[in-house]
Structure 1
Amino acid sequence: MKRFALIGAAGYIAPRHLKAIKDTGNELEVAMDINDSVGIMDSHFPNAEFFTEFEDFAAYVEDQALKGKKLDYVSICTPNYLHAPQMKFALKHGIDVICEKPLVLSSDEIDTLHQYEEKYGSKVNSILQLRLHPSIIALKEKVENSPEDKVFDVELTYMTSRGKWYLKSWKGFDHKSGGVATNIGVHFYDMLHYIFGDVLGNEVHYRDEKTSAGYLEFKKARVKWFLSIDENNLPENAVQGEKKTYRSIDIEGEQLEFSGGFTDLHTKSYQRILDGKGYGLEDNRTAITTVEKIRKQPIVNNPNNFHPLVNKLFK
């Protein structure tokens, strides 16, 4: 049984980590979040310690280590800009990390974390659960078995409407979230790289605080992509429910269907990590470099590579 800490226990994704820790037969010793709406913990680890100040959390972790009760893992589910410093804290204390995506906001931070791993002997593991999804695995096999010169034409469209709160939260500030492409898209870029190989080209055709669109060329694919949190961009057939959403990955006229199958992917990710097969720093580099360029590089006007929805933005 491994001993875990969880930072970001009140967040949206935290319940999946709590479930994964429990389902893999391990124990949550302590959790931390600046918000105290963490009643979900009672369903999994009601006896875990809990702190709302990072300093108190850090002191507890250090005191327990002095008593011979050092943690094995720190799981991180906090806002994107906090990932790197919190990973450094864990690594400095000889504790392995399990971190949500995006792992970091820049490739330089990956280089720095490598130095921490080497100096302190601890390891960073990341949650890249789409790589474990059956539909993604099947598509990867199809691409690998295609003719060597085959290049697939792909359209990625993902829209998830968000209210006015979004831009006033940490998610609305590029230096904290990485912007729309990073915050809602980084797992798609990792998935595309995982399936279609190295990135050969990266264009950005549109970018504002709510929407980003562009073109990526991979070894085995040409991808026109469009990401948005603006409900004005939603098609009429967007899902009606808790919030309006639309997701489509079209591969030469065929839809990649992966709406289901997510229930246990965090648990599978944890089991791989516990088995020594986790995705580490370098597994994240291509996706992080991709979104970093999308955030910083100049907009280009190349209608030949436009996603079909881009023209609508200029009307």
Structure 2
Amino acid sequence: MSKWLIVGSGGFIAPRHFESIKNIGDEVVGTCDVKSDTNPDFTDYKEMLELVSADAVAICTPNYLHYPMIQMALDKGLRVLCEKPLTLSSKEIEQLPNDGRVGAVLQLRYHPVCYLRPMKKLEGGSIILKVYRDDDYWASWKGSKEKSGGILFNLGVHYFDLLIYLLGNEYKIIESSYSDRLAKGKIDFNGSVFDYYIEIMDNNDGQDRRLTISGQEISLSKQDNLSYEGWHTDVYRDFKGGKVVTPFEACKSIKLIEKCIHTQQQ
């Protein structure tokens, strides 16, 4: 039985981590959050790392804190499972070890659509994400491009990771545009061309997460949030067995996002 610490224990995504740790037979021995009203064991991450003996830490904090918190945990000899994105730049993620000590939560790799992956050639199509987020979203760190990375880092990274996982890491960006609420473009994956459309809507009508590939239209989730699909437990089970989405793998979607942003800026 492994002993876990959770930082960001009072946040939206943390319950998926508590549940998954329990599901795989491990235990949480320390929690940390800056919001004292969520009743964490600690409000100071460094203090928790110093005082509590553990095997691993789950990082559920705002995106801009991921990289320094990963490094601090590694310095204490802990394994790390971190919510997406691991970092907000490819330069940072390339500094992380690829020996199984660090894993990224990119749970769309557990979607049944991944049965298509062994096929030699997949035809192009589209990936569409339309989600509603209320005023609390925009008032939080998620509404800050500096802290979240913006719409592509905060939402698009799951879907770009899925496309690379299915189609490979050879691609050319044909079109790209983005704003706070909308990112869209066209990417050629070695002959398989995909349109992407990622929108944060201001109403709750018509939410959608859909992939069209090789003539098949596939729902990626009908839940209000992707985390409700239950794939976090699969991520934890594999992490416990030594199988992780390494920084090297997670970096591929980060670099694709950076190139999409750069393409628009040209």
Q: TM-score, normalised by structure 2?
A: 0.89
1-structure distance, mates of 2:141, 2:263: 22
* Structure number with bigger Rg: 1
Map of 2:105 onto structure 1: 127
Residue aligned with 1:217, SS: strand
Residue aligned with 2:159, SS: helix
2-structure distance, mates of 1:37, 1:19: 21
Map of 1:83 onto structure 2: 66
Tell me if the contact between 1:153 and 1:222 (Cα under 8 Å) persists in the aligned partners. yes
Structural RMSD (CA) = 2.4
Map of 1:249 onto structure 2: 211
| Within-5 A mapping of 1:14-163 | 14-36=14-36, 38=38, 50-52=41-43, 54=44, 57-64=45-52, 70-114=53-97, 123-133=101-111, 135-141=112-118, 143-144=119-120, 150=121, 152-163=123-134
Q: CA 1:204–1:31 in structure 2 vs 1: closer, same or farther (change >3 Å)?
A: farther
Question: C-alpha deviations, 1:194-247, integer Å up to 9, x for none?
Answer: 001123212443221111111112136211011111337x9x7x1xxxxxx222
| Aligned partner letter, 2:128 | T
Q: CA 1:106–1:276 in structure 2 vs 1: closer, same or farther (change >3 Å)?
A: same
- Structure 2's unaligned 5+ residue stretches are none
Compute the displacement of 1:273 (Å).
0.9
Map of 1:43 onto structure 2: none
Tell me if the contact between 2:176 and 2:263 (Cα under 8 Å) persists in the aligned partners. no
| Aligned partner letter, 2:134 | G
- Structure 1's unaligned 5+ residue stretches are 40-48, 65-69, 145-149, 239-244, 301-315
2-structure distance, mates of 1:106, 1:137: 26
Aligned residues: 262
Map of 1:191 onto structure 2: 162
Tell me if the contact between 2:94 and 2:251 (Cα under 8 Å) persists in the aligned partners. no
Question: C-alpha deviations, 1:62-84, integer Å up to 9, x for none?
Answer: 134xxxxx310010011110100
Compute the displacement of 1:263 (Å).
4.1
| Aligned partner letter, 1:62 | E
Compute the displacement of 1:125 (Å).
1.2
Identical pairs, percent: 32
2-structure distance, mates of 1:298, 1:258: 27
| Aligned partner letter, 1:188 | Y
Residue aligned with 1:160, SS: strand
2-structure distance, mates of 1:198, 1:60: 38
Q: CA 1:31–1:196 in structure 2 vs 1: closer, same or farther (change >3 Å)?
A: same
1-structure distance, mates of 2:263, 2:141: 22
Residue aligned with 2:117, SS: helix
Question: C-alpha deviations, 1:176-203, integer Å up to 9, x for none?
Answer: 1111111111010000000011232124
